[in-house]
Amino acid sequence: MKKQGLLLGSLAGLAVAAVCVLTASASGSTPAARETTSVVHEAAFTCGVDPPGATSRILPGQYATSVAICNRTDRPVRFRIRAALTFPDALGGSDIEGGLVSEPMERTLQPRQALQVDCGEVPSEFFPGFQGPPYVQGFLLIESRGGLGVSTVHTAGRFDELGNAEVVSIDVEQIEPRRR
């Protein structure tokens, strides 16, 4: 299954790169890039493997999300990013309680620079020592003063009769900012 995970990750990485290039070249220095009001992008993610026969909240399969963050401006943009998990019962909570929220990380992107956060970073970077389920669901919350383009690439695979995952879905979504 490691081979299929690499395939899902590679497809998502290529799609994220294409979206970042298109977003950056199409947007230029927009009025949103000159904002002084704080905005937040809320990017949903589902990451991991849910094997056949498991009883969980998602269908059996392999899931991957990549979140691309692009600086669409001609100036450096500082931002804060944190993760909020929405799957608390595997962590000892109940179905109606909120999940874990990470401490914010401060980052800066130079003009036209981009970065990607994918499934490998969510547990390890935002929740060091995480001992949760084999998959996680939640949101990346990206706060800035504007100028960022954020998009997600969601891929899903199903297991064939031999237990191998094959890609069955890929979705690219532009995440619009919300004023705080």
Confidence category of residue 96, pLDDT binned at 50, 70, 90 = low
Distance (Å, rounded) from C-alpha 123 to C-alpha 47?
10
Structure confidence by residue, pLDDT tens digits, 115-148: 999 998 988 899 988 877 778 899 999 999 999 9
Under 8 Å CB-to-CB from 74, ≥6 apart: which residues? 29, 111, 112
Nearest Cα to Cα of residue 149 among 49, 17, 14 = 17
Task: Report the number of secondary-structure helices (H) and strands (E) in the chain.
Answer: 2, 9
Q: What is the pTM of this model?
A: 0.77
- Sorted by where each begins, the domain ranges of the chain are 2-179
Distance (Å, rounded) from C-alpha 158 to C-alpha 59?
9
Structure confidence by residue, pLDDT tens digits, 31-90: 444 556 799 999 999 998 877 776 667 787 889 999 999 999 999 999 999 999 987 544
Check: CB of residue 59 under 8 Å from CB of residue 111: no
- The number of beta carbons lying within 10 Å of the beta carbon of residue 60 is 14
Structure confidence by residue, pLDDT tens digits, 16-34: 444 454 444 444 444 444 5
Calculate mean pLDDT across residues 146-164. 90
